[in-house]
Structure 1
Amino acid sequence: MTEAGGPSIRSRVLDAITDGALKELDLDEMLGVLLERSRELLGVDTVTVLLVDRGGEQLVARASSGLAAEVFQGVRVPVGRGFAGSVARRGEPVLIERVDESTVVNPLLWEHGLRVLLGVPMIAQGELAGVLHVGSTTSRRFTAEEVGALQLVADRLAVAVHADRTRAERAAATMLQESLLPSSLPSAEGWELAARYVPGAESGVGGDWYDVFTLPGDRIGVVIGDVVGSGLRAAVVMGRLRSALRAYALEYLDPAQVLEKLDRKASYFEHNTMATVAYAIIDTKTHLMNLAVAGHLLPVVAVPGERTRFAPAPVGPPVGFDLGTTGRRGVSVPVPPGSLVVLYTDGLVERRGQDLDAGLERLRGAVGPMGPEAACTRIMAALVGDRPATDDVALVAIRHSD
């Protein structure tokens, strides 16, 4: 309660959440400091923060003042159920004056003797970050000013949580992406390879990937793909699809069949996910490239003495959402000595406000029968230049040197 003639609860909370010293603290330290201050300023017995999990379906206890057991025991509350779940679902303050199994999911709250609970949503950038709630072991009423003050604390914490998660997701996505890109490209007599990967300046690391691996029978597998979306989730899905494709590549000789299996896997296990993929198997003895394309841009093929062209492959639907249930088809493309094949993701050729066909034509014009490293350098200079690409760019060049 506010002392007569003293500063209002709102002004005292504002002082607490705008303290410059908070900038020097990590998230857990900030949570600890602000929960203790809130407990004192509001005259309550407990203050707890529950953060929404990655799936957006559960609230997980992250920090508490006065009821640490919630955190230590990993309390989880489904969004939409009980007290905290109702706050999350409704996106507005909720007050309950009876704390028991009929109103609260977590038994620790009534076992602790709490009689009144007030909870407010933590929302940042229009997204739910969690729930902040306070509890009292004695009956009391919360004024509109106190509810507003608690919401101020929740808003400050939501911004901190959002920023922390964004930093953590970017770091995790970057590490995951780097760990999954080939550290070196395989070599085969008469065949040279080079590659590039550059994360998008606006989207950050996402779901673009390339992969090159040797296969039994003097064959080389080459993959280029792009999971819809960006950030950690897209990178995680990309990693799972990459691993699955490698496994299918050992079992099936036909790239179209490999993509068919990948589509089934993505549709069943990767809900609400879609990816474009081009998968080629180069037979180093017959000089043929067997190619299947799932919604991806066609590879560029440059043969000495011929006009550079896009591979004449049928383009099936992307993988995911059971889009490829009617079957997938591939094509065999000759790769005679001196030829160059280039696979790439759309970040190389797409630019905001520019026609995709124009970007593809610039790419075709930059590709010719040359070494793969020189080709990558020339392509990146022609299509990226000195301005950062807004989306991820992945590029693989393969030359038949014999």
Structure 2
Amino acid sequence: MQADQPADPPPPFDVAKAAALMRDSPAGMAVFDTELRYLYVNPALERLNGIPAAAHLGKAVAEVLPGVDAAEEVMRAVLADGKPREAMSSGHTWASVPEGERFWQGAYHRLEEAGEVCGLVGVVLEISVAHHQQRELEQARSYLSLLDTASATIGTTLDMDTTCRELVDFVVPALADVAVVEVFPPEVGHAVRRPPEGVVRLRRAAMALGPALRDTVSPFGAAGEYIDYQQDAAVQRCLATNRPVIENLYSDEQLDRSAPTRGRVAGYRAVGLHSAVIVPLTARGRPLGVLALARTGDSPVFTEGGDVVIARELAGRAAVDLDHARRYAHEHTIARELQRSLLSEPRGPHPHVQVASRYRPADEGALVGGDWFDVIPLRDGRHLKAMGDVMGHGVEAAVAMSHYRSILRAVAEDDMEPHRILQRLDDAVVRSGVDRAATCLLAVVDRYGGICRLASAGHLPPVFLDPGAPRARVAAHMPVGPPLGSGFGGYETTDVPCGPGTVLFMYTDGLVERRGEDIDVSVGRLASLTLPASGRLEDLLDEVLDRFAEDAEDDIAVLASRVHEGVSFSHHG
């Protein structure tokens, strides 16, 4: 039995013939032996790879181009079965190009001579420009989709902190591992200490962390705190130039300069923070604060293009929503403070008259309204009580409310019937130029006569709670004239029994008016009111608000009074 003979080596490849065919081709071309070592490289491939042909010969691709993913598994498959294949490669060659990472499309064919496999030929075309353009197009489409989504998810309310939370939740993890929104403190409604000279003080309104950071002890602080930034901090530079500031934090010195406090540098290092960008939040030429984004771990650094461009676009859109929210909050605060200052507690009109009042503003999502009340002493133990509601909301409504109350005090006279007072009030309002209508209910109580004289200008009826009675009386059938400010007049006075101990309860529509419910049904529920066991008017009002004001959508003013012989006046709330 003969010993196995070694396999014959593959036939030699005619390199000269290949050179004649490939030399002038604009595509990069190479011939490999069966071990995928270079046998020939044409001039075009020399230029692509950035080294001469001689540096290729006899070496594998990985030896010549260690920075290139050459798809050798595809080349070996072509050698094995002879089926031509294409593959894309990427990486960096020795040629210096400005595009950074490069991309090539390669086509591979097996070479055979006299039926024997003798090597492989590869044809390579660079597609870097087209690939980058395609990637930029896909990124642009992604950014447009991101912006479309942002329009629906950021700025859904007129609350600043909610808008800030929506912004940070949106950009993490889409653009960053950490996102923080910090804003200048409000100008009114908050007492914040003044920062030192040259220091910018911001309030951290919202913060979001990526999934990998949520279980760690955050070195980024917490929402709600105030942070001081020194003059060389990125935040100050961002606000001064109204442009994004990119900080690639390679050294502790850079981290120290960017951190709001030096104690946080170690925490930043612990989570691998290495890149940050500060984006201004500006609306109508006014800085509102900053959006700060940070990346940690293996996330890429921020650069001038790409993510920073989209971050600035998102910040610009969010700034418009924040400006609306800030202006709303500013007006809301002024209106509320004005209304509270004008709704001073009614003074006791007489030692034998008890009065209690409450004012409850609507939820934070609604502007302050023009609810008002007043108690004016008259002669002979009588007193005039007024409950009104100016149409609309905001500062204008609060100011109009103050005008109505001042005019009422000027026109009310001792011997005048309630409907005559309303008529004079209506005429005076029309002459004064106040452009907001108002409802108003007047009640004149005669503690000796045991009656209450009522007149209404578009206002809801009062409620009477008699001592020992199982249910309250709603004056639902009293005549109701047009609202004040219309100039139509036509008011009437109605007498209702109101003896000693009977409580007169007056209110604005925010207490009972509910969307989708008939107002008569809403008012009818007030007939279930009874005097509390304590007999205190303050307890009655607390019970009323607990029962009826929970889902109110408007401001509420309530007033309770009674004539009670032998009891001195007391008032709280």
Q: How many Å separate the matches in 1 of 2:437 and 2:239?
A: 41
Q: How many Å separate the matches in 1 of 2:425 and 2:320?
A: 38
Change (3 A) 1:204 1:218: same
Change (3 A) 1:361 1:156: closer
- Tell whether 2:327 aligns with 1:165: yes
Q: How many Å separate the matches in 2 of 1:261 and 1:152?
A: 56
Q: How many Å separate the matches in 2 of 1:27 and 1:309?
A: 47
Q: How many Å separate the matches in 2 of 1:243 and 1:216?
A: 20
How many Å apart are 1:262 and its aligned residue? 2.2
Letter in 2 for 1:235: A
Change (3 A) 1:155 1:354: same
Q: How many Å separate the matches in 2 of 1:152 and 1:302?
A: 58
Show the counterpart of 1:310: 474
1:358 alignment partner, one of 506, 521, 531: 521
Q: Deviations over 1:278-326 (max 9, x none)?
A: 0112223333322210000000123347663222521101112x2x524
Show the counterpart of 2:361: 199
Change (3 A) 1:346 1:180: same
1:382 alignment partner, one of 524, 529, 547: 547
Q: Does the 8 Å CA contact 1:224/1:343 hold for their aligned counterparts?
A: yes
Q: How many Å separate the matches in 1 of 2:430 and 2:440?
A: 14
Unaligned runs of at least 5 residues, structure 2: 1-98, 100-142, 148-167, 169-178, 188-199, 203-235, 244-282, 287-312, 566-573
Look at both structures and tell me which one has the larger radius of gyration over its CA atoms: 2
1:372 alignment partner, one of 510, 514, 537: 537
Q: How many Å separate the matches in 1 of 2:376 and 2:537?
A: 17
- Tell whether 2:148 aligns with 1:24: no
Q: How many Å separate the matches in 2 of 1:286 and 1:27?
A: 54
How many Å apart are 1:37 and its aligned residue? 4.1
Q: Does the 8 Å CA contact 1:27/1:160 hold for their aligned counterparts?
A: no
Letter in 1 for 2:483: P
Q: How many Å separate the matches in 2 of 1:251 and 1:165?
A: 44
Q: Does the 8 Å CA contact 2:426/2:489 hold for their aligned counterparts?
A: no
Letter in 1 for 2:401: M
Change (3 A) 1:269 1:367: farther
Q: Deviations over 1:200-239 (max 9, x none)?
A: 1142421111212323342212111111112222111111
- Tell whether 2:382 aligns with 1:219: yes
How many Å apart are 1:364 and its aligned residue? 1.1
Greater relative contact order (Cα < 8 A, sep 6+): 1
RMSD across aligned positions (CA): 4.1
**Deviating more after overlay: 310-319 vs 292-301:** 310-319
Show the counterpart of 1:327: 490
Change (3 A) 1:374 1:213: same
Q: Deviations over 1:348-367 (max 9, x none)?
A: 11223333233222211114
Letter in 2 for 1:162: H
Letter in 2 for 1:335: C
- Tell whether 2:449 aligns with 1:291: no
Change (3 A) 1:153 1:348: closer
How many Å apart are 1:181 and its aligned residue? 1.4
Letter in 2 for 1:380: L
Change (3 A) 1:35 1:277: same
Q: How many Å separate the matches in 1 of 2:376 and 2:332?
A: 27
Q: Does the 8 Å CA contact 1:204/1:230 hold for their aligned counterparts?
A: yes
SS at match of 2:412: helix
How many Å apart are 1:155 and its aligned residue? 6.2
Q: How many Å separate the matches in 2 of 1:399 and 1:188?
A: 11
Letter in 1 for 2:474: F
Change (3 A) 1:308 1:240: same
Letter in 2 for 1:376: L
Change (3 A) 1:27 1:391: closer
SS at match of 2:358: strand
Change (3 A) 1:343 1:23: same
SS at match of 1:396: strand
- Provide the aligned length of Structure 1 versus Structure 2: 285
